[in-house]
Structure 1
Amino acid sequence: MIPAKSTEEQRHNYTRAITEKWDEATPDQKRRGRDWYVTAHELAVEIAGGDAKKGAGVLAALSANKSWAENCRLARKAFTEEIASGHTRDALTKANRIMQGTDPAEVLPMHLKTGCFYLCIADPENAESVVIDRHAHDIAVRQIYGQRERGLGALRRYNVLADCYRAAARQIGEIPSKVQAVTWVAHIERSHIGAVA
């Protein structure tokens, strides 16, 4: 796992890996990556009867270790049945609290993956938040970790990579969430691994 106190050289290397993955993306992957959070936002609005924040919160709460397709299925089912199911107790508790009206920002870890995922879905033009999931990590370190621990629950380690995505975004001229989504699409499709957030 990367050091929580990464050196400037390490940060430079992570940022460079991200920009190189961006450059490897096909025009179609860039188009789909740029639209990824917009499409997710539209889904959030649809499943929550027009409440983008509630829909985004439930999608984020039910996202851990699930493919995007499964994540969407669970969130849609939760709103249809008015109770979340099919996940860990912690995720279900969070999703149910959000559906009952609690602000997602009070329920989700706002400075880690799940909270950032919520923010990016709720506002696809959010210029600060960036989702660092296992794929974002693996892109930055140029290595597929598989089931090995990445340590992304540690805020300092998470922030190192989030800052590198922000730096890459500045170089590319995009917002960080779009850089993360484009590189995610390119990474998933190039390495032929299951799309799990």
Structure 2
Amino acid sequence: MTEIRIAAASADRFDDVEHALTGGGDGASCWCQWWMLRAKDFSAATRDERRELRGDLAAPVASALLAYVDDEAAGWVKVSPRPDQPRLARTRNFQQSPEPFDDPSVWAITCFVVRREHRGNGIAARLLDAAVDHARAHDARVVEGYPVDTAAAKASANDLYHGALSTFVDAGFTEVARPTRSRPIVSLSLA
């Protein structure tokens, strides 16, 4: 029987982070820095410079979680207070959030990576549940997500790094805004 466990992404697990992020999709080129850097800084950064997320991984509260399948790093989810992901406030589509952007009690789930060989096994749903638990354990009041509604528009595997709307709805999230036809903002109150 396959064992799936979730653990905090940390500096001492960097090899596992690297393995999870390089298994398909945008993870290998973005290194989950898209929401951390201004557009011009992200564009100017080399792939190696983006890999320097070790500072994020050394933070006292993990900003991401890893999924392990039988002790192999199989997936990643970015979850942290929204002010720690400054590009969200500068992204027009997400400015329709009803929550103030500078509120550290609002956490954002912005990135999923699941290695190709582990897709279709519920890893993203397990990561989402763990991300909510992680946010709750660190005093989050609200958790937001910015998934893709695959019923409204076809999406490639790369487009699903935001997660699928159905996964968020199954986890109890509700839609609070729809900036574009296929990109809702979803929210889960933890209060």
Pick the TM interval, shorter chain: under 0.3
More strand by share: 2
Specify the structure having the higher radius of gyration (Cα).
Answer: 1
Taking structure 2 as the reference length, the TM-score comes to 0.28
More helix by share: 1
Higher relative CO (CA 8 A, sep ≥ 6), structure 1 or 2?
1
Taking structure 1 as the reference length, the TM-score comes to 0.27
